[in-house]
């Protein structure tokens, strides 16, 4: 009976060290069972048929068939949550973003140094990702906004984009959620700062990919970046991002690599700095993700007078972070993913009503 409750995991990686180490580390988790290790997609096919895994950990670079090609075939014949586990290279960064678009639920970076010890640390991180992947709902590819047509430009509504800042946080399922949200923002939208739980080495590729879909200019944040309308900034993996005010300008700043809520960067750190430095001129948006990172920070933003929004359960891949935000009263608005932009416009056009919860 216990085995029926465990998450069955298949590891697909051509490295014997990776397969062996991750299998040993995950064996210590009571709720996870590694049902096999495959050297390539052809070997994986037989193990999938035999064990019907709940989650697959997939490398990108393998002999005979690369991981991205395999993932696309897998999503057609056996759609299952897949976590990409790959070395950090420019090429792999781009492929990882394509893998997310093809249906993978997350990306983890293999350590470049440290041998089996580093892999054991990685195994602990993977365990949390496996649990999130196991409960992930399929990401809705394109959720149309309920309002007719695309959101109007910011200035056409009588709003000054230089007066506001938008902060967004997300985790599992967030890469595609952020892509959809940014693609619905007009070019004259207020500056946007984003924390997506993603390892160092992949956030630059993520920002570059988002830039292809957005009317805004999207880039990986650099320490000291000035927040101006029409720009969106992705927090770099492996370091905490927050805000400072210098000579009347809003600027991004990087700090410690210490984990907050088990994450670096953390949504909590971002939101708390916005609450402290910007207050009622800010908008906080908490999207899909497992756990509670960002929920308390969103509440602090609300208490500071900001507009606060959480993604609804129906359109969330994992309804964890937004759920906690709603439970503690942090979210003034709960909305479908496709309606985030119109909700921001609506809330800022009637500031006296934003404390009313719309669910």
Q: Annotated catalytic sites, by residue?
A: 171, 197, 293
Q: Which of 169, 175, 198, 195 is nearest to 320 (CA)?
A: 169
CA pair distance 330, 302, nearest whole angstrom: 6
Helix-helix angle 16-26:115-134, to 10 degrees? 60
Cβ-contact 187, 155 below 8 angstroms = no
Token pair of 7 as six digits = 């998450």
DSSP states of 10-53: EEE-S-HHHHHHHHHHHTT-TTEEEEEEESSHHHHHHHHHHH--
Question: How many helices (DSSP H) and strands (DSSP E) are in the chain?
Answer: 12, 14
Q: Would the CA dihedral through 151, 153, 154, 159 be positive or negative?
A: negative
Q: Is the peptide bond before 234 cis (omega within 30 degrees of 0)?
A: no
CA pair distance 212, 196, nearest whole angstrom: 18
CA pair distance 293, 30, nearest whole angstrom: 24
What three-state secondary structure class fits 74? helix
In the chain the first and final C-alpha atoms are separated, in Å, by: 39
Our CA angle for 80, 126, 284, nearest 5°, is 85
Q: Sort 248 into a burial class: Cβ within 10 Å, 0-12 / 13-18 / 19+.
A: exposed
Token pair of 73 as six digits = 């075939």
CA pair distance 74, 133, nearest whole angstrom: 16
Q: Which of 91, 78, 81, 32 is nearest to 57 (CA)?
A: 81
Token pair of 329 as six digits = 């009263």
């Amino acid at each position: 009976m216990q085995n029926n409750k465990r998450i069955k995991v298949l590891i697909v990686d051509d490295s014997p060290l990776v397969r062996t180490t991750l299998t040993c580390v995950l064996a210590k988790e009571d709720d996870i069972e590694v049902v096999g290790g495959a050297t390539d997609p052809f070997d994986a096919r037989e193990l999938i048929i035999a064990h019907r895994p709940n989650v697959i950990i997939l490398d990108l670079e393998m002999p005979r068939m690369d991981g991205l090609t395999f993932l696309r075939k897998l999503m057609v014949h056996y759609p299952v949550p897949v976590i990409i586990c790959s070395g950090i290279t420019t090429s792999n960064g781009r492929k990882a973003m394509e893998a997310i678009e093809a249906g993978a639920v997350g990306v983890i970076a293999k350590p470049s140094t440290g041998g089996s010890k580093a892999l054991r640390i990685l195994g602990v991180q993977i365990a949390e990702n496996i649990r999130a992947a196991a409960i992930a709902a399929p990401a809705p590819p394109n959720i149309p906004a309920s309002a007719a047509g695309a959101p109007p430009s910011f200035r056409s509504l009588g709003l000054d984009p230089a007066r506001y800042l938008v902060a967004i946080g997300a985790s599992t399922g967030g890469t595609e959620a952020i892509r959809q949200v940014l693609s619905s923002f007009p070019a004259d939208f207020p500056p946007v700062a984003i924390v997506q739980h993603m390892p160092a080495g992949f956030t630059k590729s993520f920002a570059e990919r988002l830039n292809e879909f957005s009317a805004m200019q999207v880039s990986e944040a650099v320490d000291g970046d000035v927040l101006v309308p029409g720009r969106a900034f992705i927090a770099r993996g492996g370091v905490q991002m927050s805000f400072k005010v210098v000579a009347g300008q809003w600027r991004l700043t990087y700090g410690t690599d210490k984990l907050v809520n088990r994450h670096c960067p953390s949504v909590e750190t971002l939101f708390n700095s916005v609450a402290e430095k910007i207050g009622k001129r800010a908008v906080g948006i908490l999207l899909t993700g497992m756990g509670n990172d960002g929920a308390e920070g969103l509440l602090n933003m609300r208490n500071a007078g900001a507009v606060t929004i959480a993604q609804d359960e129906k359109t969330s891949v994992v309804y964890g972070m937004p759920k906690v935000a709603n439970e503690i009263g942090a979210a003034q608005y709960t909305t479908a993913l496709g309606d985030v932009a119109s909700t921001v416009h609506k809330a800022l056009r009637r500031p006296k009503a934003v404390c009313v919860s719309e669910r």
